[in-house]
Amino acid sequence: MEEYPAIEDHGIIGDLQTAALVARDGTVTWFCAPRFDSPSIFAGLLDRHRGGYFRISPDGVRYLSKQLYLPGTPILITRFISADGVGEVIDFMPVTGKQPTDRHRLVRIINMVRGSMRFRMAVRPRFNYGRDPHELDLRPGGSVFRSASATLTLHTSRPRGRLVPQEQIHNEDGDLLAFTTLHEGDTGAIVMDTASPAEPHVMPFEEVQHMLEQTRDYWRRWLDRSRYHGRWREMVERSAIMLKLMTYAPTGAMIAAPTVALPEEIGGNRNWDYRYTWIRDTSFSMHALLSLGFTEEAQQYAEWLDDRVREAGDNAAPLKIMYRVDGSSDLTEETLDHFEGYRGSGPVRIGNGAADQLQLDIHGEAMFAIHLAGGQGLDASHRVWQSTVRLIDWLCDNWDQPDAGVWESRHHPRDYTYSRLMSWVAFDRAIRLAARLGRPGNTDRWTDQRNAIYSQIMERGYDPGRRSFVQSYGESVLDAALLIMPVVGFVTPTDPAWQSTLRAIGQDLVSDSLVYRYDPTASPDGLPGNEGTFNMCTFWYVEALATAGRLDEARLIFEKMLTFSNHLGLYSEEIAPSGDQVGNYPQAFSHLSLINAAVTLDHLLTHRR
């Protein structure tokens, strides 16, 4: 792996417990097993020399590469086009199911469509984030890589033609290097298995074909449940697949992104581990999934969230802002000093030190999700309601204090307007649920606290000079997080205070339709450097414009934003000033906000007078 591919030059495949990134040149640059948050096996995206990779690509020929997904699926096709021929690699991971397993398979089918082409395969695993040495054992039917922490088995499959003859396979200091020339009609496969129950062997190609068909059918059946048939169906469905891919099937928890330490600024140090479940992200994803009709996923996440609420309520403690997919909360942050980072953007961090921050807004996002779920008949049990009451009672005593805020500032705590806003949401939704369900709770006190927050935001969170709601009390800095105010019902889209806030955000935080979270030079966040525009905020801006009646402007910005997706319709966290995608990838926040913006905009355009 000579150079770092662009972040956006990747597709993603997954099996609902883990995922892999595949670059345009046929290189698997990122893969962790057995879970999203497990140590990496391939991490060439973070260190091209020490990270490891699995590449299948043409050798000794000039070629053009193209990638596409098999429609309605996350089955990735990488095509290599040259004057001598056209070959393709089909990558996918068979769905594992809802039981946690150590066995994960990555299938790579190689087809020669026309002409002939020489291929090179290099398999260079680097177990446990490149910290564990390994040995390679070559066998007649495949290969086995063994380390102290994991085993990786490669099975071959070749029903016809010539695929990697034995004499062209080499053990190169523990790595596998192989060459073969394929001719039109030749096909075969490599099946990588993280916990193979058998010795490496030549698999019947019919078995590989069956795995492909099962995977294809699973995803198409799932996608058929979507009830969105609007103007942007292809992008919405691709985003829905991304959210599903980032969901850990055994628990229903959704990770923020499957990657680690991809920089928000090339050469900068804003490099975080996103392989965890943020209460905030996944709660908003429930809104997106329910709007498309995916109630089963929403129900499973609601059950996972109920457990977290119960744990917090039973301990008279606030919710953690993030958890591992199994609900545990040990996310100790450490630095992998032996990795140079993507294009030299160190440090490479695993774990996340923000996990223990106080972020009061997450209680609002949790209650927002619980209330939405209740609207679909997914009401909390009596036991969970009791814990919810204790959690809301805790918030009564603790909402009026500085915290780290939605953007996880590592600077001093502030009185963030967004944190107060979402605390208002927590009380408001708890009051509504108690009334609708006839559940017990100190609703008089909750109502007093809700009203106190409303008055406080109007008095201290609104700057008359700027004619805008601001990021924190006593400051004049704007914050794109406040674009959600009308969505949660705190203000109406036609409120003059909101209309002037929307204009101020457009003037200060919008650059050619793209939206910055805030200005870090005006509002220090405890970290050096800058960042790009935040994709979620751009989609929030679209939704805010649309509901405020600025439909033509909203549609143009939405269409512009679609041009910043990659060739597969995927988004990272941010867009750099150069137009490149930066930050962890693909990002659930980006895709869920795309869905919400598309659904809202499509509805308003359809019913426009």
* Residue after which a domain boundary falls, among 222, 246, 262: 222
Closest to 174 (Cα-Cα) out of 127, 225, 219, 218: 127
Helices (H), ranges, 352-438: 362-375, 382-398, 417-437
Distance of CA 573 to the CA centre of its chain: 8
Are residues 441 and 571 part of one domain? Answer: yes
Q: What is the CATH number of the domain that holds 408?
A: 1.50.10.10
Q: How many domains does the chain have?
A: 2
All residues at 6 or more sequence positions from 168 whose CB lies less than 8 Å from its CB, including other chains:
178, 179, 180
How buried is residue 435: exposed, middle or buried, by Cβ count under 10 Å (0-12/13-18/19+)?
exposed
Residue 126, both tokens:
């680097």
Would residue 4 count as lying in a domain? no
Q: What is the pLDDT of residue 165?
A: 47
Same domain, 459 and 500: yes
Low-confidence spans in the chain with pLDDT less than 70:
1-2, 159-167, 197, 522-529, 609
Flag whether 531 is in a domain: yes
449 with 576, same domain: the answer is: yes
Last residue of a domain, one of 160, 190, 222: 222
Same domain for 145 and 266 = no
3 state DSSP class of 494: coil
For residue 512, give both structure tokens: 């050619």
Same domain, 442 and 491: yes
Q: Is residue 265 within 8 Å of 530, Cβ to Cβ?
A: yes
C-alpha span between 214 and 130 (Å, rounded): 33
Torsional sign, CA 484, 394, 447, 379 = positive
Answer for the pair 33, 18: CB distance below 8 angstroms, yes or no.
yes
Q: What's the CATH number where 123 sits?
A: 2.70.98.10
**Domain-terminating residue out of 222, 257, 284:** 222
Is 2 within the bounds of a domain? no
Query: Could you tell me if residue 207 is inside a domain?
Result: yes
Q: Decide if 596 is inside a domain.
A: yes
d(CA 367, CA 234): 31
- Residue 227 counted as domain residue: no
Which token pair is 344? Answer: 């030299």
Residues 220, 216: Cα–Cα separation, whole Å: 6
Has residue 396 been placed in a domain?
yes
- Residues 165 and 251 reside in one and the same domain: no
Let me know whether 475 and 525 are in one domain: yes
Are residue 170 and residue 310 in the same domain, yes or no?
Answer: no
Instruction: Give the list of residues 6+ apart from residue 25 with CB closer than 8 angstroms, or none.
Output: 5, 55, 57, 65, 78
Residues 305 and 158 placed together within one structural domain of the fold: no
- Rounded to two decimals, the pTM is 0.95
Q: How far is Cα 340 from Cα 49, in angstroms, rounded to an integer? A: 9
Q: What is the pLDDT of residue 43?
A: 98
Check: CB of residue 166 under 8 Å from CB of residue 179. no
pLDDT at 375: 80
Q: Are residues 402 and 468 in the same domain?
A: yes
**Do 447 and 566 have their domain in common?**
yes
Same domain, 218 and 287: no
The answer to whether position 128 is within a domain reads yes
Which residue range is the domain that position 546 belongs to? 233-602
